[in-house]
Each structure stands twice: as structure tokens, then as C-alpha cells.
Structure 1
Amino acid sequence: MITKAIIFAGLALSLSPAAQSAEKVMPDKSRAQARNVVLVHGAFADGSGWRGVYDELTARGYRVTIVQNPLTSLADDVAATRRALDRQDGPAVLVGHSWGGTVITEAGVHPKVSALVYVSALSPDAGQTTAQQYDGYTTPPEFVIDTHDDGFGFIKAENFRAGFAADAAPADAAFLRDSQVPINMSAFATVLENAAWRSKPSWAVIATDDRAFDQRMLHDMAGRIGAKVTEVAASHAVFMTQPKLVADVIDDAARQVSAKAN
């Protein structure tokens, strides 16, 4: 019996990069004048880490909404993101960090989303789980997850700064460590139904000192989705430690999709 996962996998192989590119540049009404930005945090963190990016973007005239993911399941995080998208008054750039990349990949098919920005983020395909993205890659030894009996995971405290926020000030890294939001680890085994990057143009920020992901994995994910890549010397906490650069990439995405719509 042919499984749904196999069908989706075949579909993924059948779409050539040229076909994906052609699909992404087709005009649609969702891409006109994107002045809204929706920010989606990843695992082990909450939305407060986006404050620097929020300040940068609001100063440039954007309307910014920050999603607070419950991290209890992929469905719950996608629902939280969709609620935020429903509140937008027009087209929006949807941005995800780390696990937030999986969330925006599923939620980004929302009609108000005009572009996707992946900030050191995961980008599974439809029919694929997040965990499968790690196949064939080696997670750096600094990134250690401590999973509790209830199935929720934290980054191991003694490894937190090295694995998550090595370029953050010691006090900021300590605050992030002690305010961790655990994720239900079963979320990584949830099969995605949609892959928004197949129909929406994508950008990617890759932190070259990220110790949560194999660098090959980050580049391979960005290459597969056809993202415009910006590299920066930063840790996995790049969404917090490099707010201007991240805001610049979001601004570029918004301007490009707006220009194509006009």
C-alpha cells in the first residue's frame, strides 16, 4: 500500500528547482505591499527574544506581531500562528526561528502570507517530520536536550550558553537559560500536511556559529527550499543577538514581494 508519506516524497522529487522557482514568482494578491510582520519563536524560548527585531522593524514603519507558541504540539503552535495571521490587516511576512521554521512551513499557506523568512530554522516538506530533517547530519556536542518523564525537553542547563547563546552577554544567556519554555518532544515526530515554501518565496538567515545544527544541514535546508541566504557570525540565538541583520533580511523580503506585486 502506498503511504501518504511516499506520495508526498514523490511529489517533492518531481518538482525541479526551476519549477519551484517559477511557482514562487507567480503574482498573487497576498504579495501586495507587505507591511505586516509576524514573528514565531522556536523551542526553549518565548517571544520576548524578538524584542530587538521588533524595535528595528517598528522603527521602519512595519506592524509587528509576536506569536507566543505554547510548544505543546505542532498543531497548537500552528493554531497560535494562524490566529496571529488572521488579525493582520493585509499581506504579512512570516518569520520563524529554529522550531518556528517548522511552524511557519505548515502555517505559511495562510492566504495573508506573502513571504517566509527562516532564521537558523527548520523547513520540512509536506509528508515529512521535523525529526527526519536531522537524518545524515551530526548535531554539535554542545547542544544537549534533557527530556523529562512527561516528554517535554529542556536544553541541559550547563550546556545552555555554549549550545544556544554563545554570543549573548553572560547575563542575557543566563536569563534565557532560566526562562526556558520546554517543548513537547513528540512534536518533532509530527508529519506536516503543508510546505508553504513550495508556493511562497523564502529567505534564510544562517548563523555560522550555530551549535544547535550541523552547518551542512542549515545550508542544505536553505538550498532545498530555494531561499535567498544571508550568513552572519552568530550563535543559535541569532534572532536575539543580531536584530539589525535579521530585520534587514525581513525588510528585504517585504520590499521584494511588494515590488513584484506592483
Structure 2
Amino acid sequence: MKTNPISERFTIILLILALLMTTNFYSQENKVVKNVILVHGAFVDGSGWQGIYDILVKKGYHVAVTQHTLMSLDEDVKAVNRIIDQQDGPCILVGHSYGGAVITKSGNNPKVVGLVYVAAHAPDEGETEADNGKAFPPAYKSLIKGEDGLDYIDPNKFPGDFAGGVKLEQANFMAISQTPTADVAFHAIIKNPAWKTKPSWYVVAKSDRIINPDLERMYAKRAKSTTIEIEGASHCVFMTHPKVVADLIISASKMSK
């Protein structure tokens, strides 16, 4: 029985194309996102990320740390978008505490391909983190609201409420050097939350006194986040457990859900 040479060539070409497409698919799937942006929360600045920064940089990641004003959510989103736009390719956004609300909005930037929430707020459309905190009351009672519209944590209670597990000398310094945060930032209404369209990961701090761990769990479940829970971790879990948090960020960078 004779074979058709044209048919054979066509079949071979199809096989080669299928192989190339499969190879390209797997290369895209296995591509690691090397740009990571760390977004701090209220009352602190970006310096608390140093432990995680050091781990990621040693593993070859390009890490940026934002410094935003804490004066309004919109201004902070602009500040984070400025850093996102400076990246040379796709990036992972990592937000702590109020920084979670910031990445929930700035995560809509097309360069962002994944979101990592670290004991962070992840409000839905029409929600505010302040209202969510009322629905899931936190343990701390040390918030002081200034007459000028700026909030801060009572320095005497800061180590126990905010920075549990951090060395006392460092926690005391954080307390007296904290950045007051505009109360209006906590009442900003979220629109178009990025976690609805982009993959997310979540760190639940099981001993968090600033954000109720049950609220953190709700956020993670609602966003269908890949979630880890850290026993005994305070709100400063990113400082007290840098390797565990960094490992989750690395997992996110590989887009491994």
C-alpha cells in the first residue's frame, strides 16, 4: 500500500507544531516571576521587611520596598503603582495589614500577576477595612485617635499589641518611631478588588491582636487564596517568621497554586 508523501509531511509538521506549543506552554508555566514588591502597613514603614528582603535577594529576586505616606488610600495606591511601573516585567505584590488594602487596588496594574497577603486586609467591592474590623473585632484596645485626624498605637502597649515576638528593644523603638496614619485611610471604600481576577496567597497570624485571625481566614477563603497559618504569630509575623513568609512569596513567584 502506497503512502501519500504530502500527507506524511503534513502529519510531521503538525507533530512538530504540537511539540513546540507544548514546550512553550510548560516553559511559561514554569517561569518564575523575579520582581517582588513589599508594601508596608499602617503605623510602620518599609524597614520591617528587611529580613524577608535579605532572604529573597540572596535567592536572586529583584525586591522593591515601598514607602508610602499613610495619609490616604488613593495616595498610597499611587505610590505603589509608581514602583510597579518601574519594574522591568511582571511582579508579585506583597502587602501587610493596611498594605493589603493598598495591594487590593494597586494589584489591578497589568504588571501584577499575583498577590500575597500577610496578616492583611483584603476588602471586597464596597467594603472598608474599618467596617470589616467591626464585624470581626480585634483584641487590641490601644488605638489612639488624634484630634488632627491621625491615628497611632499607644506606645506603652505597642510591643504587646502590635509587635508580639519582636525583641523588646526593637519593639519599643518601633513604638516611639511609628508613623501616625490618617483615620480616613481605614475608611476608604474599595472598588474593583484585584484578588477577584488574580491569584492570591495568604498568611494568617494565629495570635494577631490587630486584625482578628478569623477575619484573616475569611479574607483568605473568600479570595480562594493559597493559605498558611502560623501558630503563635503576632501582627508582626513578617518580622518574626521571615523565612516562612518568604517561602510563601517564593511559592507565589512560581505561580504554584
TM-score, normalising length from structure 2?
0.85
CA deviations 1:71-94 (Å, max 9, x no partner) are 000011100100000000111010
- The question of whether the paired residues in 2 share the 8 Å contact of 1:102 and 1:124 is answered with yes
Identity of aligned residues (%): 43
Give me the whole-angstrom Cα distance separating, in 2, the residues matched to 1:194 and 1:82: 15
Query: 2:59: which partner in 1?
Result: 60
Partner of 2:245: 246
* Paired residue type of 2:92: V
Contact 2:34 2:253 in 1 (8 A): yes
Local SS of the residue matching 2:189: coil
Quote the residue 2:176 is aligned against.
Answer: 178
CA pair 170-72 structure 1, distance change in 2 beyond 3 A: same
User: Per-residue deviation at 1:213?
Assistant: 1.7
Give the whole-Å Cα distance in 2 for the aligned partners of 1:155 and 1:135. 18
Give me the whole-angstrom Cα distance separating, in 2, the residues matched to 1:192 and 1:231.
25
**1:168 pairs with 2:163:** no
CA contact (8 A) 1:40 1:66 kept: yes
User: Is 1:39–2:38 an aligned residue pair?
Assistant: yes
Q: Residues 69 and 77 of structure 1 are in contact (CA less than 8 Å); yes or no, is this contact kept in structure 2?
A: yes
One-letter amino acid of the structure 2 residue matched with residue 36 of structure 1: N
Give 1:132 deviation, angstroms: 2.2
CA displacement 1:87-126 (0-9 Å, x = unmatched): 0011101000000000000100001101000000000012
> What is the match of residue 113 of structure 2?
114
Distance 2:134 2:35 in 1: 35
Deviation by residue 1:5-49 (Cα, 9 ceiling, x = unmatched): xxxxxxxxxxxxxxxxxxxxxxxx9x9641100000000000000
Distance in 1, matches of 2:115 and 2:211, equals 20
Distance in 1, Cα, partners of 2:88 & 2:31: 12
For 1:218 and 1:129, how far apart are their aligned partners in 2?
A: 14
1:93 maps to a residue whose letter is I
Provide the alpha-carbon RMSD of the alignment. Answer: 1.5
Match of 2:93 in 1: 94
Q: 1:57 to 1:143 in 2, by over 3 A?
A: farther
Distance in 2, matches of 1:239 and 1:179, equals 18
Note the C-alpha offset of 1:143.
4.3
Name the counterpart of 1:126.
125
Partner of 1:104: 103
Decide whether the 8 Å contact of 2:52 with 2:243 is kept in 1: yes
- Give, in whole Å, the separation in 1 of the partners of 2:138 and 2:33: 36
Q: Which has the larger radius of gyration?
A: 2
Aligned residues of 1:93 and 1:114 also touching (Cα < 8 A): yes
* In 1, Cα distance between equivalents of 2:131 and 2:203: 21
Mapped contact 1:33–1:91 kept (Cα < 8 A): no
- 1:126 maps to amino acid: E
Q: How does 1:140-179 map to 2 (within 5 A)?
A: 140=139, 142-179=140-177
Matched with 2:71 is: 72
For these two proteins, the number of residue pairs brought into alignment is 228
Distance 2:31 2:78 in 1: 24
Structure 1 unmatched runs, 5+: 1-28
How far is the alpha carbon of 1:130 from its aligned partner?
1.9
Q: What is aligned with 1:50?
A: 49
| Aligned-pair CA distance for 1:148 | 0.7
Structure 1 pair 147–199 and aligned structure 2 pair: CA distance change class (3 A)? same
CA distance in 1, matches of 2:234, 2:127: 27
